[in-house]
Chain A
Amino acid sequence: MSEFPPRAAGPDHLGGPAEPDLERLSVGERARLGAERDGVHIVHSRERHPVPGTKAERRAERGVALCFLLTFVATVAFTVIFIAAPWEFSLTDNSYAWFTPLLGVTMAIALAGVGVGAVLWAKWLMPEEEAVQERHEGASPRLERVTAAALLVDGLDQTGLARRSLLKRSLGLGLGALGVLAIVPLGGLVKKPRDELFTTPWKAGVRLVSFDGHPIRPGDLDPGALATVFPGVPGGARAPDAATMLIRLRPGQTVTRRAGQEDFGWNDYVAYSKICTHAGCPVSLYEQQTGRILCPCHQSQFQVQQDAVPVFGPAARPLPALAITVAEDGYFVAKGDYAEPIGPSFWERP
């Protein structure tokens, strides 16, 4: 670069001296000189308080000081509240609920005090000034554009990339492999579903138990009752696909089962998967008089009397039914796993 002459000392449109006598200028004049060299022109400037120490100036000064004092007071208040105010949850005393809001309010006052004070300082005390800055020219001068482009091309030439095809190819191979490296770990996320989407922990003879593990007898539910039951196996209550609604129908309610599932219920008890066939939400909004089960996520509705077919909303398939019976010891057991995969659709679903 050194073979080119140095850049002119100032923009061409400035008619000022190229090298002014800096030593003789005051600080303000130097600041204005710098502004002029950047194309900033001060159109109009006026002292707000030409005579220092007037009543108005002192009042303005006190106003700004008040803002900063407010910041100090609010910060002290914040600290005191943070240390002393009750914050721990309490069943009997709700005063802890003020802790967070008070911290927020005091911090907001503290920050606003600094900000408002700074703005008022500029508006009330500093000189009133109006300045315009000229737009710079659209493109860089031709000389700069040509030399910058030459720098890039020259660098590429010096690597000899066009000549050294071995390096070019080996670099391409290496960089390509590096790109694959970023994709390889994603392979750990790819998993072909096996049986887990088709089966649940329910098996023939597995007891229906409540979330705390109690087995259920036919006498436990009144007509019109709903209980969420889980398979009585280790981890059954935590299994994501096993939650089941055990419903005791009201007198007069009957379920018209689909073919092949006529014996899935037991007397006035029926059991359906609690997992919506649309998006997998828990469907347990059961209306015991109408026999409808609602899904809270997308408002699908299933009609128990029609074998839990969807009658409203986006769900397309009925809730899978669990075949139940009562074992010899008098507790409910499953007669087997669900006859079809539970929950939302997936690619491999038949």
Chain B
Amino acid sequence: MTDRSPSATRPSRLARVRRRVSGALALGAALGIVGVGYTAVAAAASPGTGARAAAPAQESVDVRKGRQLFEQGCVTCHGQNLQGVRDRGPSLIGVGQAAVYFQVSTGRMPVTRQEAQVERKPPKYDLTETQQLAAYVQSVGGGPEIPKGDLRDGALAEGGELFRLNCASCHNFAGRGGALSAGKYAPSLNESTDEVIYGAMLSGPQNMPVFSDNQITPEQKRAIVNYVQTLKKSADPGGSGLGRLGPVPEGIVIWVVGIGALMAALLWIGAKS
């Protein structure tokens, strides 16, 4: 398309001028829309400073605040330049916003102690601080980012197929998690938000494999998120799902509660007659 012969497609002078003018207008309009949109978004995110700050300045404010937070809470283990500290914490170069958002928003970071598995706990940083931290780490090392917008915009059936092929082996067919080796485990997805699931796929936290956008496309990732969240919302038409852990709790309930009730009834009948 680009190497058409010049004689056939050379436009007239007037047309070229018109094209340049319209191009400049379009660029200006686009810039204006982006600027206004960003200001609105930033204002919603942090009302104190966002209203008057221009877009680039706001970005640097986020990064600056993120750096302050990082230097207070993270340097001990991850190092002054995110390079990591031996036997304490890994390098954060290249982990990106996805990893920071996943680890900090689920309370896994900062860790309290080193053990087999870093567990989910109440987050130490609020959403704004988490995003500032993520912005700082992203600005230093780069890496994968969780996209904005609707993360459930994907085909449900395809999401189910991908979930069963790639996720269900560790996270259980209903997303309830399961055991791994030596005290490690795949956590339940019960409390996971869209962003957390997406960020986990992108960053591969702890022992979870990484699923890059080339391996599982963003559309497929949104389909998986949609499937997981739909699964969590959907009802158990057979009565209680018993934690959806499968045949083991179902068997326990049948044998202990069901047979137990029958035995009690038998004993009662025997005692009456």
Interface residues of A (CB under 8 A from B): 89, 91, 94, 96-97, 99-101, 104, 211, 217, 219-228, 282, 284-290, 292, 294, 296, 301, 312
Q: Does B170 contact A (CB under 8 A)?
A: yes
| Closest chain B residue to A296, Cβ basis | B169
What is the distance, in angstroms, from B73's C-beta to the closest C-beta of chain A?
23
Contact among B169, B178, B186, B206 for A289, CB-based, below 8 A: B206
Q: Within 8 Å of chain A (Cβ to Cβ): is B236?
A: yes
Interface of A is mostly: mixed
User: Which residues of chain A have C-beta atoms less than 8 A from B208's C-beta?
Assistant: 288
**How many angstroms between the C-alpha atoms of A226 and B233 in the bound complex?**
29
Stretch at the interface among B50-58, B192-200, B210-218, B247-255: B210-218
Residues from chain A with a CB closer than 8 A to the CB of B169 are 282, 284-285, 296
Query: How distant is A323 from chain B, measured CB to nearest CB, in Å?
Result: 22
Given contacts A227-B215, A285-B186, A290-B184, 6 further A-B contacts (CB under 8 A): A94-B233, A219-B214, A225-B210, A225-B212, A287-B184, A290-B182
- B210–A288 touching, CB < 8 Å: yes
Q: Please, what's the 1-or-0 string for B141-163, where 1 marks a CB less than 8 Å from any CB in chain A?
A: 00000000000000010000100
Query: Which residues of B sit under 8 angstroms from A290, Cβ to Cβ?
Result: 181-182, 184, 207
CA distance in complex: A306, B165 (Å): 26
Would A228 and B184 count as touching, CB distance under 8 A?
no
5 contacting pairs across A/B (C-beta < 8 A): A100-B239, A101-B238, A220-B212, A223-B210, A312-B181
B181, A287: Cβ atoms closer than 8 Å: yes
The docked-state distance in angstroms from the alpha carbon of A286 to that of B170 is 8
From 215 to 258 in chain B, residues with beta carbon under 8 angstroms from any chain A beta carbon are 215, 230, 233-239
Q: Please, how many angstroms separate the alpha-carbon atoms of A211 and B184 in the complex?
A: 29
Q: Shortest Cβ distance from A119 into chain B, in angstroms?
A: 10
For residue B233, which residue of chain A has the nearest CB? A94
Tell me how far the C-beta of A345 lies from the nearest C-beta in chain B, rounded to whole angstroms: 23
* Residues of chain A contacted by B234 (CB below 8 angstroms): 91, 94
Residues from chain B with a CB closer than 8 A to the CB of A284 are: 169
A220 to B204, CA, bound (A): 15
Query: B235 near A97 (CB under 8 angstroms)?
Result: yes
Bound: A104/B166 CA distance, A: 37
Closest 4 A/B residue pairs (Cβ):
A97-B235, A287-B207, A94-B235, A220-B214
- Is B261 part of the contact surface with A, judged by Cβ < 8 Å? no
A222 and B237: CB pair below 8 A? no
Smallest beta-carbon distance A122→chain B, Å: 12
Q: Can you list, as one digit per residue, whether each of B118-136 has a CB less than 8 Å from chain A (1) or not (0)?
A: 0000000000000000000
Is B27 positioned at the interface, with any CB of A under 8 Å from its CB? no
Minimum CB–CB distance for A70 against chain B, Å:
19
Residues of B within 8 A of A (CB): 156, 161, 165-166, 169-170, 178, 180-182, 184, 186, 204, 206-212, 214-215, 230, 233-239
**Given A225-B215, A301-B181, residue A101 in contact with residue B239 (CB < 8 A):** yes
Chain A, residue nearest B90 (CB): A289
The smallest beta-carbon distance between A164 and chain B, in angstroms, is 58
Give the A-B contact count at a CB cut-off of 8 A. Answer: 80
Query: For A221, what are the chain B residues with a Cβ–Cβ distance below 8 Å?
Result: 210, 212, 214-215
Do B212 and A222 touch across chains, with their CB atoms under 8 A apart? Answer: yes
A100–B237 contact, CB under 8 A?
A: yes
Check B181–A226 contact: CB distance below 8 A. Answer: no
| Nearest CB of chain A from residue B182's CB, rounded to whole Å | 8
Collect the chain A residues with CB atoms within 8 Å of residue B230's CB.
91
CA distance A295 to B139 in the complex (A): 40
CB contacts (< 8 Å) of B207 on chain A: these are 287-290
Give A292 to B183 CA distance when docked, in angstroms. 13
A215 to B166, alpha carbons, bound, how many Å? 17
Expressed in whole angstroms, the minimum distance between the Cβ of A206 and any Cβ of chain B is 20
Please determine whether A225 and B204 come into contact, CB atoms closer than 8 angstroms: yes
Give the contacting residue for A224; candidates B210, B237, B238; CB below 8 A: B210
Q: Give min CB distance, A235 to chain B, whole Å.
A: 17
Q: Is the CB of B209 within 8 A of A286?
A: yes
| Chain B neighbourhood of A301, CB < 8 A | 181
Alpha-carbon separation in the docked complex, A292 to B212 (Å) = 20
In the complex, are the beta carbons of B237 and A96 less than 8 A apart? Answer: yes
| Contact status A222-B239, CB under 8 Å | no
A285–B236 CB distance below 8 A: no
A227–B211 CA distance with the chains assembled, in angstroms: 8
Q: Is the CB of A288 within 8 A of B237?
A: no
Q: Which residues of chain B come closer than 8 Å to A287, judged between CB atoms?
A: 180-181, 184, 207
Measured CA separation A223–B203 after assembly (Å): 10
Instruction: Determine the distance from Cα of A221 to Cα of B211 in the docked complex, in whole angstroms.
Output: 7
Contacts of A99 in B (CB 8 A): 237
Give Cα A282–Cα B173 distance, bound, in whole angstroms: 14
Contacts of A294 in B (CB 8 A): 180-181
Complex Cα distance A294/B186, Å? 12
Cβ contact of A222, chosen from B170, B184, B204, B236, cutoff 8 A: B204
The complex places the Cα of A136 from the Cα of B236 at a distance, in Å, of 56
Q: Once the chains are docked, how many angstroms separate the CA of A296 from the CA of B165? A: 14
Question: How far in angstroms is the closest Cβ of chain A from B7?
Answer: 36
